[in-house]
A = this chain, B = another copy of it.
Amino acid sequence: MKRSKYMKILVPLDGSENANKALIHACDLAKNYQSFITIIYIAEKPTPLNLLDKKEYMKITKRFGKKILEKGKENALKRGLDAKAILKEGNVADEIVEYAKNDNTNLIIMGRKGLGKATRFLIGSVSSKLTNNSPCSLLIVK
């Protein structure tokens, strides 16, 4: 296997323990395969709120996302890796697919549960969506 098969690893974070576990897996693989790690947080737009609440919600969500990414960078640094951090707005699965396509990601590593608002009702909806739509290999960590 060429080193380039795992050259670019993307790890979606959401502040959950499962996402953190996925990041630890990613760091280990990155060391073995000399890969670059990008961590990404997607601020999901709220649905049934008025405009004022919407803005406030997005502000808070983005602030939360920045903290998650900072913590992710710290966790990677502890393992000797300098992760690139990306903050996006929109639908979680769609934005991950979009970023992975544009950045030529080779491998997405994520936790099975805990990602996305929808998981409150439907376990693993984001990982299920990515199973079908990911433009690259996908490692779902348990």
A residues in contact (CB < 8 Å) with B: 1, 5, 24-25, 28, 32-33, 112, 123-124, 127-128, 131-132, 134-142
Which residue of chain B has its CB nearest to the CB of A28?
A: B1
Whether A142 pairs with B138 at a CB distance below 8 angstroms is: yes
What's the least CB distance linking A12 to chain B, in Å? Answer: 15
Question: Nearest 10 A-B pairs (CB), nearest first?
Answer: A1-B28, A139-B139, A131-B131, A138-B140, A137-B141, A137-B142, A32-B32, A128-B131, A124-B132, A127-B131
What's the least CB distance linking A100 to chain B, in Å? Answer: 11
Task: Knowing A24-B1, A25-B1 are in contact, say whether A131-B136 is a contact too (CB < 8 A).
Answer: no
Complex CA gap A135/B142 in Å reads 8
What's the least CB distance linking A29 to chain B, in Å? Answer: 8
Complex CA gap A135/B112 in Å reads 11
